[in-house]
């Protein structure tokens, strides 16, 4: 009854480099499957241009049209590895009548490893190392960068392995050897081992000065207006997000009609919110971008198979969707004494996973600007400790302390949820 494992995930590449690649997933359904698939797509540097998916609660059929982002062309894309990663999060092809989602429940959290990379500092080095780790399918969970006065740098990367092979000596040795070969003239030493208590210390929830937190997270959506005009150039149009709810068209589903500005990771953001709120998407269509705007039709249900009639749940769902469409990331530049700090905050799923490649994109933007990074830290914030009314409790905060001697860092200190300098790498 089921289908052959080779047919669960099919990848059909276009006839020309400019044609999209079609990724088809045909497997038993599980809660949050669409979100998990889209996260992996983003981890490989791919952009979803179109999507169609449907499920009856037991079996799902998903079609994604993807293209490689322009600034990711330098990274080698391993299509076989992508297929294996998608297969790994897809439920086993058991007979739908007997399939139990508990059999495919959330797996244990992946082991965190500590990569200690010591080298001679130079401009753009941190991004170059990050690019290599991304190519090797590592996810940077946390990191700490320390620069010494004599021009040396110690990078502590707390990473997980998308291939789940770091427990093998070969994978660890190959990783260190690859890094040392690529950065031969700068590399001083490289160590990779299972993280110890220092990883637990990095995981502790961190505090943020209230004034900075208010400036970073104070952007509220008006009940009458969902239009954001933050720092933007004169040629940039306002960002709009419209969510229309229809509970009359379908007897068993709530229809969400969404229109918003196209941006990186949009489909992932929408499915992440649905997953966190236990909202099931029974049918969805993610249309191609038209003049920079996206239109989406989502037929959704609660976990009991009924449409959403609770006004509070509907209001929370619509508010979360609008917030993510307008502010997928929070960006702020602050001055702390003689230092300039860049703070980038992005929401984290309830399972602890955040938006892929945030650190990769930030370091790429800073490298293109010629801005040196003096130190870096990643923290987890519990916003409920800071604000009483928040839509998303947990946030991952990336803090880059910048050193701008000899560079032209034309960024005014203050809030920006739509910074044009991040757009240069297609961040939004």
Helical axes 311-326 vs 266-276, angle rounded to 10°: 150
Helix (H, G, I), strand (E, B) or coil at 268: helix
pTM: 0.84
Considering the domain architecture, whether residues 303 and 389 belong to the same structural domain is answered as no
Could you tell me the pLDDT band of residue 280, with boundaries at 50, 70 and 90?
very high
Q: How far apart are CA 398 and CA 169, in angstroms?
A: 31
Q: Which of 2, 399, 409 is nearest to 207 (CA)?
A: 399
pLDDT above 70 covers a percentage of the chain that reads 76
> Which of 326, 352, 387 marks a domain boundary?
326
Give yes or no for residue 9 having a pLDDT over 80. yes
Most distant pair of Cα atoms in the chain: their distance: 69
The larger pLDDT score, comparing residue 366 to residue 383, is at 366
Could you tell me the pLDDT band of residue 189, with boundaries at 50, 70 and 90?
very high
**What is the reported pLDDT for 218?**
67
Considering the domain architecture, whether residues 291 and 385 belong to the same structural domain is answered as no
Considering the domain architecture, whether residues 300 and 250 belong to the same structural domain is answered as yes
Considering the domain architecture, whether residues 302 and 387 belong to the same structural domain is answered as no
Mean pLDDT, to the nearest integer, of 306-313? 94
Give yes or no for residue 311 having a pLDDT over 90. yes
Least confident stretch, 68-72, 150-154, 253-257: 68-72
Give yes or no for residue 386 having a pLDDT over 80. no
- The angle subtended at Cα 112 by Cα 267 and Cα 32, nearest 5°, is 25
Q: How far apart are CA 252 and CA 249, in angstroms?
A: 9
**What is the reported pLDDT for 208?**
67
Within 13 Å and on the Cβ side, how many CA atoms surround 423?
11
Considering the domain architecture, whether residues 322 and 343 belong to the same structural domain is answered as no
Could you tell me the pLDDT band of residue 388, with boundaries at 50, 70 and 90?
very low
**What is the reported pLDDT for 70?**
62
Mean pLDDT, to the nearest integer, of 215-237? 47
Give the total number of structural domains in the chain: 4
Considering the domain architecture, whether residues 233 and 198 belong to the same structural domain is answered as no
**What is the reported pLDDT for 400?**
80
**What is the reported pLDDT for 2?**
54
**What is the reported pLDDT for 209?**
72
Q: Would the CA dihedral through 31, 33, 39, 43 be positive or negative?
A: positive
**What is the reported pLDDT for 47?**
92
Q: Would the CA dihedral through 184, 374, 171, 137 be positive or negative?
A: negative
Using a 10 angstrom Cβ sphere, with 0-12 exposed, 13-18 middle and 19 or more buried, the burial of residue 109 is: exposed
Give yes or no for residue 223 having a pLDDT over 70. no
The phi-psi region of residue 86 (left if phi > 0; otherwise alpha if psi is between -120 and 50; otherwise beta) is alpha
pLDDT tens by residue, 69-127: 765 545 678 999 999 999 999 998 754 444 444 444 445 678 999 999 999 988 889 99
Considering the domain architecture, whether residues 96 and 181 belong to the same structural domain is answered as no
Could you tell me the pLDDT band of residue 203, with boundaries at 50, 70 and 90?
low
Considering the domain architecture, whether residues 180 and 252 belong to the same structural domain is answered as no
Contact 249, 309 (CB under 8 A): no
Considering the domain architecture, whether residues 174 and 295 belong to the same structural domain is answered as no
In sequence order, the 6+-apart residues with CB closer than 8 A to the CB of 101 are: 29, 30, 31, 91
- Joined together, the tokens standing for residue 389 give 């009314």
Mean pLDDT, to the nearest integer, of 183-190? 94
Give yes or no for residue 169 having a pLDDT over 80. yes
CATH number of residue 169's parent domain: 3.30.70.260
Give the strand order in the sheet containing 339-347: 187-194, 113-120, 152-161, 138-147, 372-382, 394-403, 339-347, 330-336, 414-416
Give yes or no for residue 221 having a pLDDT over 70. no
> Which range marks the domain in which residue 256 is found?
223-326
Give yes or no for residue 251 having a pLDDT over 80. yes
pLDDT tens by residue, 326-379: 888 888 888 777 778 888 888 888 887 888 998 898 888 888 888 888 778 777
**What is the reported pLDDT for 110?**
85
Least confident stretch, 30-39, 345-354, 414-423: 414-423
- Return the number of other C-beta atoms located less than 10 Å from residue 100's C-beta: 10
| DSSP-derived secondary structure for 295-361 | EEEEEEE-TTS-----HHHHHHHHHHHHHHHH-SSEEEEEEETTEEEEEEEEEB-TTS-B-TTHHHH
Considering the domain architecture, whether residues 167 and 316 belong to the same structural domain is answered as no
- What's the whole-number average pLDDT of the chain? 81
> Which of 291, 326, 361 marks a domain boundary?
326
pLDDT tens by residue, 120-147: 988 889 999 999 999 999 999 888 888 8
pLDDT above 90 covers a percentage of the chain that reads 46
Element (H, E) at 127: helix 125-135
Considering the domain architecture, whether residues 317 and 390 belong to the same structural domain is answered as no
**What is the reported pLDDT for 385?**
43
Least confident stretch, 1-15, 107-121, 168-182: 1-15
Considering the domain architecture, whether residues 214 and 347 belong to the same structural domain is answered as yes
Least confident stretch, 132-141, 242-251, 387-396: 387-396
**What is the reported pLDDT for 398?**
78
**What is the reported pLDDT for 252?**
93
């Amino acid at each position: 009854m089921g289908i052959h494992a080779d047919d669960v995930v099919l990848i059909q590449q276009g006839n020309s480099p400019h044609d999209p690649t079609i990724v088809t997933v045909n497997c038993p359904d599980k809660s949050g499957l669409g979100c998990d698939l889209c996260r992996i797509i983003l981890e490989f540097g791919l952009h979803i241009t179109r999507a169609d998916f449907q499920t009856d609660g037991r079996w799902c059929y998903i079609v994604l049209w993807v293209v490689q982002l322009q600034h990711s062309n330098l990274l080698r894309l391993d299509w076989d590895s992508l297929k294996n990663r998608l297969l790994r999060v897809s439920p086993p092809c058991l007979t739908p009548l007997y399939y139990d989602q508990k059999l495919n429940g959330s797996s244990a959290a992946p082991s965190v490893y500590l990569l200690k990379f010591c080298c001679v500092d130079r401009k753009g080095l941190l991004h170059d190392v990050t690019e290599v780790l991304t190519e090797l399918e590592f996810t940077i969970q946390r990191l700490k960068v320390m620069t010494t006065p004599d021009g040396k740098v110690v990078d502590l990367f707390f990473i997980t392995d998308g291939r789940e092979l770091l427990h093998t000596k070969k994978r660890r040795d190959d990783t260190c050897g690859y890094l040392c070969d690529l950065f031969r003239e700068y590399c001083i030493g490289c160590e990779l081992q299972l993280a110890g208590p220092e990883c637990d210390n990095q995981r502790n929830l961190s505090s943020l000065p209230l004034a900075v937190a208010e400036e970073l997270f104070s952007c509220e959506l008006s009940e009458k207006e969902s239009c954001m005009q933050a720092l933007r150039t004169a040629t940039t149009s306002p960002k709009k997000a419209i969510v229309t709810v229809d509970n009359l068209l379908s007897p068993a589903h709530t229809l969400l009609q969404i229109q918003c500005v196209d941006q990186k990771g949009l489909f992932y953001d929408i499915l992440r919110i649905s997953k966190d709120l236990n909202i099931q998407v029974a049918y969805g269509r993610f249309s191609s971008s038209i003049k920079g705007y996206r239109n989406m039709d989502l037929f959704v249900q609660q976990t009991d198979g009924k449409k959403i009639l609770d006004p509070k749940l509907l209001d929370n769902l619509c508010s979360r969707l609008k917030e993510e469409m307008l502010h997928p990331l929070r960006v702020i530049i602050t001055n702390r004494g003689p230092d300039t700090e860049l703070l980038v905050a992005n929401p984290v799923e309830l399972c602890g996973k955040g938006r892929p490649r945030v650190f990769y994109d930030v370091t790429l933007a800073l490298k293109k600007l010629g801005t040196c990074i003096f130190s870096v830290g990643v923290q987890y914030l519990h916003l409920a400790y800071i604000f009483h009314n928040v839509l998303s409790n947990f946030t991952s905060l990336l803090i880059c302390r910048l050193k701008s001697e000899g560079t032209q860092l034309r960024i005014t200190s203050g809030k920006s949820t739509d910074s044009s300098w991040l757009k240069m790498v297609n961040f939004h």
